[in-house]
Amino acid sequence: MAIVTGSLTDSQAARTLSKEEIQRYSRHLIMPEVGMDGQLKLARAKVLMIGAGGLGAPLGLYLAAAGVGRLGLVDFDVVDFTNLQRQITFSTSDIGRPKIEAAKDRLSSLNPQIQFDTYRTRLTSENALDLFRDYDIIVDGTDNFPTRYLVNDACVLLGKPNVYGSIFRFEGQATVFNYPGGPCYRCLYPEPPPPGLVPSCAEGGVLGVLPGIVGAIQAMETIKLILGTGEPLAGRLLLFDALAMHFRELRLRRNPACPICGEHRTITKLIDYEEFCGIRGEEAPAVTIGIPEITPRELKSRLDRGDDLFILDVREVHEYQICNLNGRLIPLGDLPRRVSELDSSREIVAHCRSGKRSADAVEFLRQSGFRKIWNLKGGILAWSDEVDPSVPKY
Amino acid sequence: MAIKLEIPTALRPYTGKQASVECEAATVGEALRRLTSTYADLRKHLYTDDGRIRSFVNIYVNDEDIRYLEKENTAIKDGDTISIVPSIAGGQES
């Protein structure tokens, strides 16, 4: 199946490898599965990477090292300290720089012969088709459901393969969607989870090596698609459990009832993916509407006055160890069975990391009859910003 | 029939952190009902309010999706593995 479309009339296609390129790619060239033909296919290939984060880091490095002729990068974010634990294209000195700029510098120093096209933008329904059109293969390394569905739909509408990878804590998934005749993301998951069921920051986090492994699998599949070699990971969902160090494979089938690639298509153009994923209008503030709040500064001045306030920390034990406000720790999940530990006659201020879990805690406690209870607005992060910068942010 | 249910990372907080759970059942639906009666908090993550399996959670018997078998009526035999595979979106944890 020819994925790379560059024809022999293209100036790039007609080119041969220079002496320096032959040296650079010699470990490819001496393998019959790649050889000169394969290396020229790589040189003609145009791959668009969506996301220059954890998955994008190994992807970009390996695709650039392999000599993929044109690499597009879409990302709007800047490098921050918390990225460095896993986003290995970036250095400490890159903090604050747009990711695509830092990535381009790193990748072009690795391989100056490659054309890099950077797009510092959010991928949207308005720009996706225009961005994708020029590329042979799209690699999805994003971190959210709306963009995943957008990438899928744009790939289906344009007939481009979508090399998919996704991670959560120490578990990964990878496959190739929309390979000719194969299933798409909507065949696998017709709908995203409602925002309320997406794991909260308490359950978030990721082992730094995990995106490295999953991103490297995506890079391998991308290169195989370009070469037309081996068995692509299409029609198979690879599941990886890093803790057990266990790979499993599940069969993926094309869903005849799929709304975008099935027999009776109801989606024929890109839609509003935020709305589709139920996150139009910012979910977080909606949750906290009607929840009594106290700002970090108000809390500080009341504590300084010596008011008798009970600080309830609803985070997890491992988060308490990172930093705390000397509150009583009762993780949100334990609250229903430990509610008797709380005295409803005292004033209680509940907090978590950012204020979302503690809003749920306040809501629960109000329903349980607590009246003198407030949510610390913005959580321990806001406390660090507004009251005590010595409290580390995580 | 003794079968194994594989619990994904995202749902392990609701199964006492267990990565897999063994149970006796004749069909996929029965196995899932047993699982969610033991671990009640899991129910809302697997089923909609009207009792259907959520569309972002896929259930496999061995390597086959039950949507292409007999759905929840799919028979299971000794030694089968049922996998619960929810969609995950992470890639660059913001």
Q: Return per-residue pLDDT of chain B as tens, 94 residues.
A: 689 999 998 888 889 889 999 999 999 999 999 999 999 989 988 999 999 999 899 999 999 999 999 999 999 999 999 999 999 887 543 3
Total domains, chain A: 2
Q: What pLDDT, in 10s, does the model give residues A92-113?
A: 999 999 999 999 999 999 999 9
A320 has pLDDT over 90? yes
Q: Confirm whether A391 is domain-assigned.
A: no
A210 and A313 co-located in one domain: no
Q: What pLDDT, in 10s, does the model give residues A241-281?
A: 999 999 999 999 999 999 999 999 999 999 999 999 887 65
A266 and A330 co-located in one domain: no
A200 and A276 co-located in one domain: yes
Residue for token pair 């996150």: A279
Q: Confirm whether A393 is domain-assigned.
A: no
**What does the block give as tokens for A210?**
């995990």
CA B18 to CA B39: how far, in whole Å? Answer: 11
Q: Confirm whether A1 is domain-assigned.
A: no
Which among A55, A201, A251 is the top mutation candidate for probing chain B, defined by the most B β-carbons within 10 Å of its own β-carbon?
Answer: A251
Q: Give B73 to chain A, closest Cα distance, Å.
A: 19
Domain limits at A22?
Answer: 11-281
* Chain A interface includes B39 (CB < 8 A): no
A318 and A261 co-located in one domain: no
| Residue A201 appears among annotated catalytic residues | yes
A22 and A128 co-located in one domain: yes
Choose one of A248, A281, A314: the last residue of a domain.
A281
Which residues in A194-227 are b (16+ Cβ under 10 Å) and which e? eeeebbebbbebbbeebbbbbbbbbbbbbbbbbb
A177 has pLDDT over 60? yes
Compare all CA atoms of chain A with the CA of B17 and give the residue at the minimum distance. Answer: A203
Q: Confirm whether A298 is domain-assigned.
A: yes
Q: What pLDDT, in 10s, does the model give residues A198-252?
A: 655 556 788 999 999 999 999 999 999 999 999 999 999 999 999 999 999 999 9
A294 and A374 co-located in one domain: yes
A314 and A246 co-located in one domain: no
CA A116 to CA A94: how far, in whole Å? Answer: 18
Q: Confirm whether A3 is domain-assigned.
A: no
Compare all CA atoms of chain B with the CA of A88 and give the residue at the minimum distance. Answer: B92
A229 and A372 co-located in one domain: no
Q: Confirm whether A5 is domain-assigned.
A: no
A274 and A314 co-located in one domain: no
Q: Give A303 to chain B, closest Cα distance, Å.
A: 33
* Chain A interface includes B40 (CB < 8 A): no
Q: Confirm whether A2 is domain-assigned.
A: no
CATH assignment at residue A319: 3.40.250.10
A203 and A311 co-located in one domain: no
CATH assignment at residue A55: 3.40.50.720
Q: What pLDDT, in 10s, does the model give residues A20-68?
A: 999 999 999 999 999 999 999 999 999 999 999 999 999 999 999 999 9
Choose one of A281, A303, A331: the last residue of a domain.
A281
A208 and A321 co-located in one domain: no
Choose one of A255, A281, A307: the last residue of a domain.
A281
A53 and A189 co-located in one domain: yes
Please, which residues have CB within 8 angstroms of residue A139's CB and are 6 or more apart in sequence? Answer: A47, A48, A49, A50, A59, A162, A163, A165, A218, A222
Annotated active-site residue in A155, A187, A201, A277: A201
pTM of the predicted structure, to 2 decimals:
0.86
| Residue A352 appears among annotated catalytic residues | yes
Give all domains of chain B, ordered by start, each with its CATH number: 2-86 (3.10.20.30)
Q: Which of residues 147-186 of A touch B (CB under 8 A)?
A: 148, 165-171, 173
CA A89 to CA A54: how far, in whole Å? Answer: 9
CA A208 to CA A214: how far, in whole Å? Answer: 11
pLDDT band for position A284 (50/70/90)?
A: very low
Q: Please answer yes or no on whether B56 and A51 come within 8 Å at the CB atom.
A: no
* Chain A interface includes B81 (CB < 8 A): no
* Chain A interface includes B77 (CB < 8 A): no
Of B8, B45, B55, nearest to A171 by CB-CB distance is B8
Q: Confirm whether A126 is domain-assigned.
A: yes
Cα–chain center distance at A263: 31
Annotated active-site residue in A155, A187, A261, A352: A352
As for the ipTM of the complex, it is 0.90
Which among A168, A191, A218, A354 is the top mutation candidate for probing chain B, defined by the most B β-carbons within 10 Å of its own β-carbon?
Answer: A168
